[in-house]
Amino acid sequence: MQKFTPADTAPLLIFGGPYSNLAATQAIKEISQQLDIPTGNILCTGDIVAYCASPQETTDVIHEWGISVVQGNCEESLGNDASDCGCGFDTGSSCDLLSAGWFNFAKPRVSADAKAWMASLPAHISFDWAGLTMHAIHGGLNSINQFIFASDTAEQTQQQADSGGDVIISGHCGIPFGRILTNGTWLNAGVIGMPANDGQPDTWYMLITPEADGRITASWHALQYDVQDSISKMHQAGLNTPYADALNTGYWPSTDILPPAEQSATGQPLSLSPLPLSPGIV
């Protein structure tokens, strides 16, 4: 079992969804170095491999970096030689057809060693940090491919209550958010490998920072990277899917999975305010 024991003298850097986007993955690693965040304080919420053109190279960067990684449905599927990405899309839906494109591209391009490593990744990483008990997961607490969005407040509350922790950190849904619940906080770090359907090419990551006065703050930040390089790699590889355009436009090719609130926010630039974190009941 992978242990995550970050130092509480430095921020946590948390991101999800590298999505085979090598340039974005290299960019977040450079950010960590610029911010002087130790490797032991960095966590990825899964889905290393997905839409873009560099599945093996992106996996190599993450694995060799030595950060902690929660298993995403993409790692679960590739690690277990499954026939699809495990997102659970309805058969024949546009999401289903789009995911088949990248999955069939990626599957033969990821080494057996990398797949074995993916299969070994933990579904949950629980840790105590700066007086807070945190649980990092990919989708939902009981389902790796559950999409939990900012508007799913009732579900979040129930799952948070079940966890007994102060903070849940999730990924999978592709849009970052933070919600203070009746009994804790739900954080989604966002994904670095694909924009957040907000009409902007930038992607997102999260920092959790111990402030000088003892407060702890979660904050979300836009990641700029060499978008054109990732688009070119997709075209060069023959991966001419709508996701190549999405990298540039910031609009998802399909919004089937989005609840009405997130549907209506399509194309609206994200602006997330920092969120104070507190232990226990807030």
- Residue 73 host element (H or E): helix 73-79
Measured from the CB atom, the residue of 72 and 184 that comes closer to Fe ion is: 72
The Cα 265–Cα 271 span in angstroms is: 12
C-alpha 88: how far from its chain's center?
17
- Please state the closest distance from residue 138 (CB atom) to Fe ion, in A: 6
Q: Which residue, 166, 157, 167, 165, is CA-closest to 189? A: 167
Nearer to Fe ion, 174 or 210 (CB): 174
By the criterion CB under 5 A, which residues form the site for Fe ion? 47, 72-73, 172
* DSSP per-residue codes, 81-100: T-SS-S--PPTTSHHHHHHH
Q: CA of 264: how far to CAs of 237, 255, 261, in Å?
A: 34, 10, 5
| Closer CB to Fe ion, 124 or 183, in the complex | 124
Q: Closer to Fe ion at the Cβ: 139 or 210?
A: 139
- Closer residue to Fe ion in complex, CB, 115/216: 115
| C-alpha–C-alpha distance, residues 85 and 237, integer Å | 20
- Min dist CB 214 to Fe ion, Å, is 35
For residue 64, the minimal CB distance to Fe ion (Å) is 22
3 state DSSP class of 38: coil
Give, in order, the Cα–Cα distances in Å from 219 to each of 19, 248, 277: 22, 24, 10
Strand order in the sheet with 167-170: 125-129, 132-136, 167-170, 184-188, 177-181
In the complex, what is the shortest distance from the CB of residue 82 to Fe ion, in angstroms, rounded to a whole number?
13
Least CB distance from residue 72 to Fe ion, whole Å? 4
CB-closest chain residue to Fe ion: 172
Nearer to Fe ion by Cβ, of 72 and 195: the residue is 72
Q: How far is the CB of 194 from Fe ion (least distance, A)?
A: 11
| Residue 280 CB, nearest approach to Fe ion (Å) | 29
Task: Give the Cα separation of 218 and 172 in Å (integer).
Answer: 18
Name which of 129 and 177 has its Cβ closer to Fe ion. 177
Q: Nearer Cβ to Fe ion, position 73 or 151?
A: 73
282: Cα within 13 Å, side-chain hemisphere? 20
Give the 3-state secondary structure of residue 275.
strand
Minimum CB separation of residue 139 from Fe ion in Å reads 6
